[in-house]
């Protein structure tokens, strides 16, 4: 067991399979739906939350036992059976990423403890040895990294095209990003003063744009000598 390579996947439109039952299965199915995956759930019975997803057309539910052909053309599979070894073996043969719930020996990837604020995603892993530690760290992050970070990222996403187009010089642009991140903008957002935060970013951008223009003019003048 060596879950030491962190990665964030784009599952949009990917064929994903979930099979078996257990208290974590509904949340795994929902997480795949939230990630815009195409989800098939294979199990004779389903939790009411999974039934609701199927009834609304967000997933496909096949009310039967797992069959080896269910892995055909899948990107990943999540399984929660009493014995996951055969599904893991088949997944390995077909090069399908496999996660067996609470069964690290039959996993090719693991789920971290996740804290999200808008586009910010923080994942914590203890390599499968102490999930409780990851949960406590997540709880700490929930207190330290609040909704102001989601607003902050939304503002930066809004400003990014303008910053890129107006500041051609890489060093000036990089310095601006760090100046924004290290500024009081987060503190202002935490206080709920969103317009003030936006104005502060705007001011820093304008100052950086002037600096970039001046540097470009100076460089052009030197080249013409």
Check residue 95 and give its pLDDT. Answer: 98
The C-alpha atoms of residue 111 and residue 134 are separated, in whole angstroms, by 11
The C-alpha atoms of residue 183 and residue 198 are separated, in whole angstroms, by 12
Check residue 174 and give its pLDDT. Answer: 97
CB neighbours of residue 41 within 10 Å = 27
3-class secondary structure, 20:
strand
Whether residue 225 is predicted with pLDDT greater than 60 in this model: the reply is no
- Bridge partner residues of 98 (DSSP): 77
Check residue 220 and give its pLDDT. Answer: 56
| 134-175: pLDDT as tens digits | 999 999 999 999 999 999 999 999 999 999 999 999 999 999
Check residue 131 and give its pLDDT. Answer: 85
Whether residue 30 is predicted with pLDDT greater than 70 in this model: the reply is yes
Q: For residue 148, give Cα distances in angstroms to 161, 194, 197.
A: 21, 9, 11
Domain ranges, residue 181: 148-219
Under a CB-based contact definition with an 8 Å cutoff, are residues 118 and 154 in contact? yes
Shared domain check, 106 and 15: yes
Residue 202 vs residue 215, higher pLDDT: 202
pLDDT bin (cut points 50, 70, 90) of residue 130 is confident
- Specify the number of domains making up the chain: 3
- CA dihedral in degrees (124, 128, 129, 131; nearest 10)? 50
Shared domain check, 89 and 67: yes
Shared domain check, 104 and 2: yes
> What does the H/E/C string look like for 75-142?
CEEEEECCCCHHHHHHHHHCCCEEEECCCHHHCCCCCCEEEEECCEEEEECCCCCCHHHHHHHHHHHH
Q: For residue 60, give Cα distances in angstroms to 8, 23, 30, 38, 147.
A: 24, 19, 13, 8, 34
Shared domain check, 156 and 178: yes
Average pLDDT, stretch 168-186? 96
pTM for this one? 0.86
pLDDT bin (cut points 50, 70, 90) of residue 78 is very high
Q: For residue 9, give Cα distances in angstroms to 57, 73, 116.
A: 23, 17, 15
Under a CB-based contact definition with an 8 Å cutoff, are residues 53 and 27 in contact? no
Q: Is the residue at 27 inside a domain? A: yes
Instruction: Give kind and range of the element (H or E) at residue 221.
Output: helix 194-223
**DSSP characters over 171-187:** HHHHHHHHHHHTSSHHH
Q: Is the residue at 138 inside a domain? A: yes
% of the chain with per-residue pLDDT over 70 = 95
Q: Is the residue at 177 inside a domain? A: yes
Q: Kindly report the average pLDDT of the chain as a whole number.
A: 94
Average pLDDT, stretch 178-187? 98
Q: Is the residue at 224 inside a domain? A: no
């Amino acid at each position: 067991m060596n879950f030491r390579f962190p990665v964030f996947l784009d599952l949009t439109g990917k064929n994903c399979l979930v099979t078996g039952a257990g208290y974590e299965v509904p949340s795994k199915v929902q997480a795949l739906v939230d990630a815009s995956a195409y989800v098939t759930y294979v199990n004779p019975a389903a939790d009411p939350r999974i039934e609701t997803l199927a009834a609304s057309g967000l997933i496909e539910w096949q009310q039967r036992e797992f069959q080896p052909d269910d892995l055909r053309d899948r990107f990943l599979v999540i399984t929660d059976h009493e014995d996951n070894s055969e599904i893991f073996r088949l997944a390995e043969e077909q090069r399908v990423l496999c996660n067996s719930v609470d069964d690290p020996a039959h996993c090719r990837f693991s789920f971290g403890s996740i804290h999200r604020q808008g586009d910010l995603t923080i994942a914590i892993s203890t390599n499968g040895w102490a999930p409780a530690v990851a949960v406590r760290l997540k709880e700490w992050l929930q207190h330290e990294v609040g909704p102001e970070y989601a607003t902050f990222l939304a503002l930066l996403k809004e400003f990014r095209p303008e910053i890129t187009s107006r500041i051609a010089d890489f060093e000036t642009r990089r310095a601006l990003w760090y100046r924004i991140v290290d500024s009081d903008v987060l503190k202002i957002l935490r206080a709920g003063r969103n317009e003030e935060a936006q104005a502060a970013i705007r001011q820093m951008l304008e100052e950086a744009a002037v600096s970039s223009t001046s540097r470009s003019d100076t460089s052009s003048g030197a080249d013409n000598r």
